[in-house]
Amino acid sequence: MMKRILVTGASGQIGTELVSMLRNNYGKDNIVASDIKPSKDSKIVNSGPFEIIDVTDGRKIGEVVKKYKADTIIHLASLLSAVAEGNPTLAWTINMGGLFNVLEVARENKCVVFTPSSIAAFGPSTPQDHTPQDTIQRPTTMYGVTKVSGEILCDYYHKKYGVDTRGVRYPGLISHAALPGGGTTDYAVHIYYDAIKNKKFECNIQKGTYMDMMYMPDALDAIVKLMEADPSKLKHRNAFNITAMQFDPEGIYNEIKKHVPNFQMEYKVDPVKQAIAESWPNSLDASCAKEEWGFNPKYDLSSMTKDMLDKLNKKLK
Ligand code: AKB
């Protein structure tokens, strides 16, 4: 049971919404938001504690954990796939160095750890359809290398030191509160903004490229469900396949067009992002997450699209 939670990378796409949700569920003073820079989001800063943490500084993570007597670390700070491919050295330093520091602090302070893996932990030699929970993981991107290494490192800390580590392999996440920062699936967020603002969208991923996706409320619910799960029921830990829907650019475009009839899309494919997307699965098998801790996403493409357009229409007015 989580009581006092430190969240790293709290200003990112997941952190922004997770911190508000956790503060509502667990009490505002029990959720310590942190990021490398001061947050510009007044909701995060004014609604509870906020600390500056560069996750490559393990000592600082330890100080904050001790200061607030945190029992759980939700470690979100990480470079995403496209940015990581542009700077592999920095990606290794932040993604692996940060996770190693978090695990060491967790070991010393007896904290539980959640950290997300990704569909990026798979590669071209992985079965592409209904990708099993336990299968070949030979990613061809630096982001994917850090994600699969992170999964193994978290399992190691659990087996060797008894640290309670848990994680999910997130698909592309779609949300309206904060923009994603440099991933391959980002197009599926930007398309909604452009549908409302410009009625036209330039898509950097090729028609016919299917990837797993999920709406943010289901992604947040998955964290809480997994972290609250009875550990004796968990046969896996790092990390569970989860997914809510699969589509290609035409699929999401046609769904948005039902609500925005004059919306236009053209393709300007980014070769780096396209190569990354092609190396990832078309669809994951999430049955282990369903069986072991009751993963149960609520949104499909149609209900997500209605909600995204509704929320963004209000926000962008
Ligand atoms: C990315 O595209 O890099 C992320 C992810 C799938 O991990 N959204």
Same domain, 206 and 81: no
Phi, psi of 26 (to 5 degrees): -115, 0
Phi, psi of 59 (to 5 degrees): -65, -40
Read off the CATH number of the domain in which 255 is found: 3.90.25.10
Q: Give the nearest ligand 1 atom to 180 CA.
A: 8
Nearest to 280 by CA among 112, 93, 82: 82
Q: Is the Cβ–Cβ distance between 296 and 290 less than 8 Å?
A: yes
- pLDDT of 279 reads 97
Same domain, 117 and 180: no
d(CA 302, CA 255): 7
Tell me the pTM. 0.96
Same domain, 51 and 140: yes
Q: Is the Cβ–Cβ distance between 263 and 257 less than 8 Å?
A: yes
Same domain, 51 and 93: yes
Ligand 1 centroid distance, CA of 185 (Å): 6
d(CA 171, CA 163): 25
Torsion of CA 70, 226, 302, 261, to 10 degrees: 30
Same domain, 12 and 150: yes
d(CA 241, CA 287): 8
d(CA 272, CA 314): 34
Amino acid identity, position 59: R
| Token duo for residue 100 | 């190693």
Q: Give the nearest ligand 1 atom to 82 CA.
A: 3
Amino acid identity, position 82: A
Identify the segments of the chain with pLDDT beneath 50. none
| CA max distance for the chain | 58
Residues with CB under 6 A from ligand 1: 80-81, 118-120, 143, 170, 172, 180, 183-185
Cα–Cα–Cα angle for 78, 46, 44, rounded to 5 degrees: 25
Ligand 1 centroid distance, CA of 41 (Å): 23
Q: Give the nearest ligand 1 atom to 184 CA.
A: 2
> Could you give the residue ranges of the DSSP H alpha helices within 173-265?
187-197, 216-228, 249-257
- pLDDT of 310 reads 97
Domain boundary among 191, 226, 241: 241
Same domain, 182 and 223: no
Question: Could you tell me if the ipTM is greater than 0.85?
Answer: yes
Catalytic residue status for 215: no
Q: Identify the three-state secondary structure at position 36.
A: coil
- pLDDT of 2 reads 79
- How is residue 284 annotated by DSSP? B
Phi, psi of 201 (to 5 degrees): -140, 135
Other CB atoms within a 10 A radius of the CB of residue 124 amount to 13
Question: pLDDT per residue over 238-251, tens digit each?
Answer: 999 999 999 999 99
Q: What is the DSSP string of 82-131?
A: HHHHH-HHHHIIIIIIHHHHHHHHHHHHT-EEE--EEGGG--TTS-SSSB
Q: Whose CA is nearest to atom 6 of ligand 1?
A: 172
Quote the distance between the C-alpha of residue 201 and its chain's center.
Answer: 24
Torsion of CA 243, 249, 252, 256, to 10 degrees: 160
Pocket test for ligand 1, best of 184, 242, 246, 279 (most atoms within 8 A of CB): 184
Same domain, 147 and 27: yes
Same domain, 103 and 117: yes
Ligand 1 centroid distance, CA of 238 (Å): 17
Q: Is the Cβ–Cβ distance between 154 and 237 less than 8 Å?
A: yes
Pocket test for ligand 1, best of 76, 94, 143, 204 (most atoms within 8 A of CB): 143
Domain count, the chain: 2
Same domain, 261 and 162: no
Nearest to 175 by CA among 218, 209, 121, 207: 218
Buried b (16+ CB within 10 A) or exposed e, 191-216: bbbbbbeeeebbbbbbeebbbbbbbb
Catalytic residue among 143, 192, 253, 299: 143
Ligand 1 centroid distance, CA of 147 (Å): 11
Same domain, 100 and 46: yes
- pLDDT of 38 reads 81
Q: Whose CA is nearest to atom 8 of ligand 1?
A: 172
Read off the CATH number of the domain in which 100 is found: 3.40.50.720
Same domain, 69 and 204: no
Ligand 1 centroid distance, CA of 78 (Å): 11
- pLDDT of 54 reads 97
Write out the residue range of the structural domain in which residue 54 sits.
5-171+216-241
Same domain, 13 and 66: yes
